[in-house]
Each structure stands twice: as structure tokens, then as C-alpha cells.
Amino acid sequence: MQRIAVIGVGYVGVVTGACFADLGNHVCALDINQDKIANLTHGVMPIFEPGLKELVDRNVAAGRLSFTTCYQEAINDHQAQFVFVCVGTPEGVDGEADLQYVRSAAQSVAEIMDHSLIIINKSTVPVGTGDWVADIVRAAQTHAIPFSVVSCPEFLREGSAIADFMSPDRTVLGSHDLEAANKVAQLHLPLRAPIVVTNLRTAEMIKYASNAFLATKISFINEIANICEDLGADVLEVAAGMGLDKRIGHHFLNPGIGYGGSCFPKDVKALAYMAVVQGRNPQLLQAVMEINDFQRKTVILKVREVLGDDLTGRTIGLLGLAFKPNTDDMREAPSVEIARMLQQAGAAVRGYDPAAMEWAIRAIPNLGLAQNAYDLVAGCDAVVVCTEWNEFKHLDLDRVKRLMKQPVIIDGRNIYDPAKMKSLEIVYRGIGRGYDGCGD
């Protein structure tokens, strides 16, 4: 059992704190946002994540997990040995990571610490941030107290974050202090996963390189999908055939309307920015971002292909709004850009999502709201599938057809079978399906 402080109770922080508590440690999670802490204290989660509320409630009840807004309480009173920095690093003006919250956390820790600490950067931070944090802590200390900085980047997927924490592919640790890195490794031993120990900058780079590679796979298969469409091939079968090659694998070969969320868009931009600062020309990263942007535009092209160029007065429904299923996260969600382009073309846009409605109305101005999927499709000239929630895969498509003004489905996530759509006489457009059996 170790004593751990977690700074930041956003997505990474609350999952990290709850999971370490569930492993038997005593965790005090801190955030300067009083509303977040008050909500967590009363069992209200800051994010939608399957299983998280049950995990938090169980460990609070067991006395292993607590919440505070006070650094003194979280670190000194709690006698924390490890401090995980899990604050946000939003995108800056030019794509660089904004480190203001990391700086604030490092300064606050330094000003109150009264015993030796291991400070762990869990947030996604640019290469070199670990050294920078160490400089900030040394400069802000009221008197010299030993500390070490370790990089331990997170690899959590929204919608499966608890499983990803408890059963990781690997744990990456980087530090100039091997003893400190080994102590952090001991925290992760119960997870029974490979542990990679390296230097600070290499650990920070592993995170960016991993996310950039996964984003590249998504953009690659989307490029292939667009070529398949022109040549009459089915990209889903192409991806299946490719994935059987162990050197390629099936993961992230899912053609659609592109990646979104809080990680891939921000991290690819940040890595490209770092490359440019060093005088490099990140051509592949630029292409990955350009292809991802284009995938949103393909939806508008498909809508116009079926309904005509003039969308004035048309009603378009967006089935799913969050950037992926099992989350309410609207950050960089494809639905936002698709809605904007449809509205600019004169269409009225309606939307429904099982979890993200509260955030969607803030992200998409003038969005019409539906109570459920059937309410959404009623009276629509076309429906665009933006998020592959399981409930959408099992809709009564006969009922959907009867409710729509025109039976047109633009399947941005390829969740439906073109042959079935043809049998139902629904006009169907998927992504890279070769239009074989489109129903028109």
C-alpha cells in the first residue's frame, strides 16, 4: 500500500486515482475546480465512462479514495509518496501543447511540499517537459527538498479506460533517476504488464509516436476507402484481408469519417509542431491531418450526390454526436464539423446521441434535439451516421424508412449492410463500399 496524490480530476486523473485506489493504495485526488470536487464527493462523475461511478463509489466507501481542493491536504497531510500530474494540456494557437496547467501544478507542489516526492507526469506533454517541470519545482521550492520527476504517459481509450488501466499493453516510464523509476514501476507491478524504463524524453516521445501512428492507420484506411469507392471495391473486405497479415493487424483499420477526441487531433498537431520547431518537415503527419479533415467533407459530397447541390430547406439528422461510442466527449467530434458544413449549405440539422446531448448543444449552434433515434429520423431528408453506438446497429430499419421523408442514409461508420439496405429500398452511401447494392 502506497500513498498517492493525483492532481487533476479530469478524464485521466479520476480514472488513474480510482484505479490505483482499487489496487489497494490510499489516493487523494485534487482539483482547483470546487464544483468538480463537490460533485465527486457526492458521487457525481465529471465524465461519462462505463463502470467509473461504481469504481469510485466502492473505493470512497472503503476509505481508499478521497477528494480535495487543497494541495496541503493532498500531499503533506496525506503524506503522499507519489504525485501524479494529470492536468489538461489543451491545444495552443499553432498546435503546440498549452502547458499552463502543468506549470501551475508544479509550482503549487513545490511551494507546499515538506518531504521528498516522486512527481509523475501522466499528462501528455511535449518532449522536454519533464526537465522543464524539474526546473520549475527547484525554482519554486521555499527550501531544497529532494524530489524526482518521472514520465509515465497514459494510454487510456475513452469508453474502455478502466480496462485499459487494469490490463495495459505496457507501462512506459522515463526518468533521469533510475531508483525513482523503479519505485513507480513497483506501483504498476500488480497490473502484470511489460514495463519499459527509459529516459525522460524518450518516454514522452513514445506517447506522441504511438498516437501519431494510430492516427496514421486511420487516415491510411480512409484514403484506401476513397480509392475503393472509385474502383468498386469494398474497403471492409480489403481491411479484413490486410489485417490478417500479422505485420499489419486489424486494429484501427476502420474506415469512416475520421478520428476525433481529446488525443489524436491534438497530439498529431503537437508532434508536427515540435518537428517544425526543430526545422523538420513533417510531411506524413501533415498528410494524416489533411486526410482526416477531408473525410468530414466526403459526407457533404454524399448528401449532395443524393439530394442535389442545393440543401436549402432540407432536414438532415445526425445519428450519434460524440466522437466515439461509450463516451460523451464532443472534443474534435466529426459531427461538429459536419453539422457546420450542412448548416452553411442551408440545411436544418438535428441530432441525437445516447450520452452526449448536454455537450452537443454547446458544441453545435442551432442544433435541433431529438429524444431518441426514431424521433431523430422522423421527417428527415437524409440521416448521417456519425457515431457507431450499438443501439444504432439494431434499429428497426423498416420503421426508420417509414418515418423518414426520404429514405436516405449516409453511413459514416459503415455499421449497416448495403445488401440489406438495397432489399429495403433505402438509398445508402457508406464509406468505401463500392456502392454495390446501394438501393438507388
Provide the whole-model pTM.
0.94
Superfamily in which the 214-429 domain is placed by CATH: NAD(P)-binding Rossmann-like Domain (3.40.50.720)
Angle between helices 52-61 and 11-22 (to 10 degrees): 50
The contacts of residue 59 (CB under 8 Å, 6+ apart) are: 18, 21, 22, 27, 65
Say if residues 184 and 150 touch (Cβ distance below 8 Å). Answer: yes
Distance in angstroms (rounded) separating the CA atoms of residues 421 and 377 = 16
Region(s) of the chain under CATH 3.40.50.720: 3-198, 214-429
The residue-averaged pLDDT of 372-376 equals: 98
Closest CA to 414 of 439, 392, 382: 392
The residue-averaged pLDDT of 311-329 equals: 97
Per-residue pLDDT, 20: 98
The residue-averaged pLDDT of 198-226 equals: 98
- The model's confidence at residue 92, banded by pLDDT at 50, 70 and 90, is confident
The residue-averaged pLDDT of 247-274 equals: 96
On the question of pLDDT at 437 being above 50, the answer is no
What amino acid positions are annotated as catalytic residues? 263
On the question of pLDDT at 95 being above 90, the answer is no
Q: 366 by DSSP, 3-state: which?
A: coil
On the question of pLDDT at 439 being above 70, the answer is no
Pairing of strands 171-175, 147-151: antiparallel
* Share of residues in the chain with pLDDT > 70 (%): 99
Question: C-alpha grid cell for residue 336?
Answer: 461538429
- The model's confidence at residue 435, banded by pLDDT at 50, 70 and 90, is low
Distance in angstroms (rounded) separating the CA atoms of residues 355 and 366 = 19
Superfamily in which the 3-198 domain is placed by CATH: NAD(P)-binding Rossmann-like Domain (3.40.50.720)
Closest CA to 155 of 203, 95, 200: 203
Say if residues 164 and 155 touch (Cβ distance below 8 Å). Answer: yes
Say if residues 133 and 151 touch (Cβ distance below 8 Å). Answer: no
Closest CA to 171 of 197, 148, 210: 197
